[in-house]
Chains A and B, each alone.
Chain A
Amino acid sequence: MSVPTGPRIITSRFDVADGHTYAGYVRTGGYASLRKALSSMTPQQVHDEVKAAEIQGRGGAGFPAGTKWGFLPADVHPRYLVINGDESEPGTYKDRMLMELDPHQLIEGIVIACYALNAAQAFLYVRGEMALAQERLAQALNEAYANNMVGKNICGSNFSVDVTLTWGAGAYIVGEETALIESLEGERGMPRLKPPFFPAVKGLYMQPTIVNNVETLANVPYIVGKGGSEFKSLGAPTSTGMRMFAVSGHVNKPGVFEVPNGVTTFRMLFEAPEYCGGVRNGGKVKAFIPGGASAMWFFPEHLDMALDKPTVDKAGSMLGSGAIVVMDDTTDMVAACWRIVRFFARESCGKCTPCREGTTWLERVLKRMLDGHGRPEDIDLLFEVSESISPGIAWPPRQTTICPLGPSAVSPIASAVRRFRHEFEHYIEHGRPINGVESPFHANAVSHA
């Protein structure tokens, strides 16, 4: 199987032993884009390159970063850049690598972005559980300050910016941008209502704020160095550049890959020897999650679809944060569905009733099925509760809540119950999975085969 190829942009230093140090970064071309921007480009020209790159935000929503930057009202200061390094969507594993293995690339992207945005302060918010990433970023920031790449009059220019490293303490919801801002203000991480609290208008300390994902900003040095059109030419016109995807689950070689965006297909990722090398034990794909736990599931008929944002959106799911989870034909779909719903139930912040109550109910109903106490009316009950959280159970989900966490819990239910209803009915009737399916709760057992 031949696969589309492209340069390694943001993962280029992953194999360089000292790529995370200032010396290693500069030796491999680092900080050249920052020097270029400060010495020969206006902030508007930098912004124009990012717009021309048409890079879609890599955090989950996929909103074009250049357009987002344009939402800042003119002449309102102070204004802030906040970097979302709170990577916690199940299956997502890329920002942590970027922070651990190439922290200077992120810092360079941050400083360039601040230059384009006319922001003098940036806050780099890293997930609490990522001790090594915090350590590498602290080290890198100390080096960058010492070498005048951050701080006052950067590289002798009249541009100054401070980057403050801060971190969370374990809460998935803080990945939502307004919840992250709350957390950054020292509050409980509960999302704000939009409108009026669109971060670009009323963000951190009620000032204009841009919140960007780590991977998005890590691409900025390349975009400024090579030009936005060069970046755009690497992927599909509708999903530009290179993009990182983490493929986990039942494949022979799970891994994180940087691939040409919008043209690589799911089948290529799963089967090509340079990527995952096929489903384990020569098995078949039963279902896969294309973009994190919040996404609707895909099935074998979607394998030849390209990882292209509008294509995947149209098919009723999303590429989200680039988290792909493969389930082979031995997977217990009731257990898989339950585990994802349990995640949302545990991580609901409790602010909105449909989410706080609904996710908890869904989890309990699924758990009693798994425990052998399912009731005949339970499948209807799952849909009834789902309907209260997200009316119509459609894609994109409608919300009765402030943020999308609650509706996200409906995705695994809608996906698994609609497609594998017989597995749920079997659990209700017999208290165990169907033949040939492996319960994740018993050692090495293909249950009741």
Chain B
Amino acid sequence: MSRLTDERVKTAQEIIGRFPRKKSALIPLLHLAQEQDGYVAQDAMVHIAELLDLAPAEVYGTASFYEMFKFHPVGKYCINVCTNISCQLVGAWNLLHHAEEHLGIKSGGTTDDGLFSIEDVECIAACTEAPALQVNYRYRYKVTPEAFDAMITDLQNGKLTGEVPPHGTLATVRQETTTAWSNRGSEAQAQVDAR
């Protein structure tokens, strides 16, 4: 869809400023693009390449390695059902099949209204609370089919808007520190010499 907005470019510059080398900011910047559009748009990748002095192919080359980046629009709410071993042992597949039936889509699909996507994902580090899922990377523990249906209704009615931001938004608080990294190497050496 689009290049990064001026406000996001400002955030991007702050992120870039925290690393000794620009390219280290690539993954955080791709998240910024996904936060803006709900997925990583091609124009956004071209824009990121300009910001980091890279070729667009280098940006896509890195981006395509990582599961979380989507290159086509997905649901406003991405529901990731863990089916890994701890969850499988206590009914994850039943939960996934229930989710698929309830929403009328298969894992990997998106509902026609663009509201929901489902994915069968790997371990999300909630193993003692299995079966577990994430909606836009917010956890739901020990999910029963009934709890799943109630969650869908709440999401449809906007009852969870505060708790679950649209797909692409991860942390709602950002690091604020700005650091001039350019001379940090010599400064570090000076610190050691001073001891």
Interface string of A147-188 (1 = CB under 8 A from B): 000010000001110101111111110000000000111111
Contact of B94 with A by CB under 8 A: yes
Contact A92 B188 (CB under 8 A): no
Contact B123 A138 (CB under 8 A): no
Contact A169 B30 (CB under 8 A): yes
Closest to B174 in A: A138
Q: Which of A145, A160, A164, A189 has the most CB of B within 10 A?
A: A164
The listed residue (A160, A166, A188) touching B62 by CB distance below 8 A is: A188
Contact B127 A130 (CB under 8 A): no
Closest chain B CB from A113 CB (angstroms)? 15
Closest to A95 in B: B125
Contact B177 A246 (CB under 8 A): no
A-B contacts at CB below 8 angstroms, number: 213
Contact A162 B184 (CB under 8 A): yes
| A134 and B171 in contact, given A158-B191, A168-B27, A343-B123 (Cβ under 8 angstroms) | yes
Cα distance A347–B66 in the bound complex, in angstroms? 10
Contact of B85 with A by CB under 8 A: yes
| A164 and B128 in contact, given A121-B188, A248-B86, A343-B122 (Cβ under 8 angstroms) | no
A272-312 contacts to B (CB < 8 Å): 289, 293
| A77 and B24 in contact, given A87-B125, A88-B123, A162-B177 (Cβ under 8 angstroms) | no
Contact A254 B184 (CB under 8 A): no
Contact A254 B24 (CB under 8 A): no
Contact of A205 with B by CB under 8 A: yes
The listed residue (A129, A172, A323, A440) touching B68 by CB distance below 8 A is: A129
Q: Which of A145, A171, A254, A346 has the most CB of B within 10 A?
A: A254
Contact B125 A88 (CB under 8 A): yes
Contact B88 A336 (CB under 8 A): yes
Contact residues on A (Cβ < 8 Å of other chain), bracket: 35 or more
Contact B85 A160 (CB under 8 A): no
| A90 and B84 in contact, given A120-B191, A160-B191, A323-B127 (Cβ under 8 angstroms) | yes
Closest chain A CB from B141 CB (angstroms)? 11
* Residues of chain A with a CB closer than 8 A to B92's CB: 440
Cα distance A449–B189 in the bound complex, in angstroms? 71
Closest chain B CB from A269 CB (angstroms)? 12
* Residues of chain B with a CB closer than 8 A to A87's CB: 125
Cα distance A100–B156 in the bound complex, in angstroms? 28
* Residues of chain A with a CB closer than 8 A to B85's CB: 90-91, 249, 289, 293, 325, 336, 339-340, 343
| A93 and B93 in contact, given A120-B191, A142-B173, A188-B65 (Cβ under 8 angstroms) | no
* Residues of chain A with a CB closer than 8 A to B189's CB: 77-78
Contact A248 B128 (CB under 8 A): yes
Closest to A119 in B: B188
Cα distance A141–B130 in the bound complex, in angstroms? 31
Contact of A392 with B by CB under 8 A: no
The listed residue (B66, B94, B136, B192) touching A128 by CB distance below 8 A is: B66
Interface string of B48-83 (1 = CB under 8 A from A): 000010000000011101111100000000001001
Contact of B21 with A by CB under 8 A: yes
Closest chain A CB from B132 CB (angstroms)? 10
* Residues of chain A with a CB closer than 8 A to B44's CB: none
Contact of B8 with A by CB under 8 A: no
Cα distance A167–B136 in the bound complex, in angstroms? 16
Closest chain A CB from B28 CB (angstroms)? 6
Q: Which of A90, A165, A169 has the most CB of B within 10 A?
A: A169
Closest to B87 in A: A248
Cα distance A349–B65 in the bound complex, in angstroms? 8
Contact B89 A128 (CB under 8 A): no
Contact of B106 with A by CB under 8 A: no
Contact of B175 with A by CB under 8 A: yes
The listed residue (B28, B83, B86) touching A167 by CB distance below 8 A is: B28
Closest to B28 in A: A166
The listed residue (A89, A141, A158, A249) touching B123 by CB distance below 8 A is: A89
Q: When A and B form their complex, which 10 residue pairs have the shortest distance between CB atoms, in order from nearest?
A: A170-B67, A120-B188, A169-B66, A186-B26, A186-B23, A248-B127, A170-B68, A254-B128, A135-B171, A134-B171
A-B contact pairs, 9 of them (CB 8 A): A90-B86, A131-B136, A138-B173, A186-B21, A186-B24, A188-B62, A293-B123, A346-B122, A440-B92
A interface, CB within 8 angstroms of B = 43, 75, 77-79, 87-93, 95-96, 118-121, 127-132, 134-135, 138-139, 141-142, 145, 151, 158-160, 162, 164-172, 183-189, 205, 246-250, 254-256, 289, 293, 323, 325, 327, 331, 335-336, 339-340, 343, 346-347, 349, 440-441, 443-444
